[in-house]
Amino acid sequence: MKIVVLDGYTENPGDLSWDALGALGELTVYDRSSLTDENEAIERIGDAEIAFTNKTPITKKVIDACPNLKFISVLATGYNVVDYQYAKEKGIPVTNVPTYGTASVGQFAIALLLEICHHIGHHNESVHNGDWERSADFCYWDYPLIELDGKTIGIIGFGRIGQTTGKIAKALGMKVLAYDSYPNDFGRAIGEYVDLDTLLTNSDVIALHCPLFPETQGIINKDTIAKMKDGVILLNNSRGPLVVEQDLADALNCGKVAAAGVDVVSTEPIKGDNPLLTAKNCIITPHISWAPKESRQRIMDCAVENVKAYLAGAPVNVVNK
């Protein structure tokens, strides 16, 4: 049985092992792939029965051109890179890795927030550049410093990751508001469920942890920003298209939004004309919330278990049942 990984580098740049997956079949791993060349994907899958992808699209054309393909697995939670509905029509299960990054993504959201509050990176660089040595005072700060205790964080999308962010924020003394379509008792133990308008108007910090669906695309836009407090802080390490980036840039530049921390943008890698690159007080990181070694090991472990379950005739984590 042949197994192919179409784009494995970001999952495993060399600090993990593919051996457990390789033990299940004849494994070929490609580090990177074109995200637009369907013929490349077709050539790489060839007569393989199992294909893994992270961001390489597996389209109807690819599926039709690879008749031996029987199982597709995504090395991530999001699976929109696969035409999973067509795969279902062809009897091909598509699986994902649903919960690997809960801790790391929640932690990263708070890391973005703390960086906005203290600008630790900037002040560290300033000290190393000699500014403290030359200072007339025993201390200095180049940005306003923000204490979070007593402030309110509103979390849009209060599933596992949103609740993890909420727990950490609550430990910092913050009040937690949550907006989610499926309230539950775990969430109620952390924060208060409210409607979206209530969250927007009462939050000092707003964090996005919702999936990208048609109804959430552009949920942060000029209209919703207008409902927010002046000087609000926005965090997004969920999905880039949740934000209308020009609207956020305009709000940052006029001060309506005091600062933003984003780990995702609408097109990745980021384009040079993205308005957030030149917006005031915007921290941008290159989609790394998910990437600690511990998280990536969980992806690897789940990927192996997904194949084992498929081979046993009882596939798990199937997104197109």
Please identify every residue annotated as catalytic.
239, 268, 287
- Angle, CA of 82, 88 and 89, to the nearest 5°: 120
For 294, phi then psi, to 5°, come to -60, -40
What's the rounded Cα separation, in Å, for the pair 148 and 230? 16
Q: Are 132 and 140 in contact (CB under 8 A)?
A: yes
What's the rounded Cα separation, in Å, for the pair 33 and 8? 9
Q: What is the DSSP string of 283-307?
A: EE--S-TT-SHHHHHHHHHHHHHHH
* Strand, helix or coil for residue 267: coil
Q: Are 63 and 86 in contact (CB under 8 A)?
A: yes
